[in-house]
Amino acid sequence: MGYPSAIKILAEKQQKKELSIDPYIIQVSGEPFYLEDKRLVESTFSNAEILDFYCSTEHLVIGFGRDNFNGLYLFEDDLIFEIDESNLIITNLLIVMK
């Protein structure tokens, strides 16, 4: 488990034979997992399933991604997401009108 940029470094070291590990699950979180880096990690650790967690300090897990999801599954049961081209606003504040 680690930041995608750190997992990428592990993959690069594995390819240079400076590391010899064979993970079966890789969990990333804390920053974007760019497609180019993901492809490097997938090709280096081909036996590993990659799990991408979208988290925050205030709410812990906001979303979860894996290959068969084709993106992130956002946990909308107690969060409200407002998404446009340049912004993402997430809140768990609800206004109840009587």
- Gap between the Cα atoms of 78 and 34, Å rounded: 28
Asked if 87 and 70 count as a contact pair (C-beta separation under 8 A), the reply is no
Helices assigned H by DSSP within 1-98: 4-15, 35-44
Average pLDDT over the chain, rounded to whole? Answer: 88
- Gap between the Cα atoms of 25 and 1, Å rounded: 8
Task: Count up the domains in the chain and report the number.
Answer: 1
Q: Supply the range of the domain harboring residue 62.
A: 4-91
- The radius of gyration of the chain's CA atoms, rounded to the nearest angstrom, is 17
Residue 54 lies in a domain: yes
- Gap between the Cα atoms of 29 and 16, Å rounded: 25
Residue 96 lies in a domain: no
Position 84 scores a pLDDT of 86
Please write the tens of the pLDDT for every residue from 40-56.
999 999 999 999 988 87
Residue 16 lies in a domain: yes
Give the predicted TM-score (pTM) of the model.
0.72
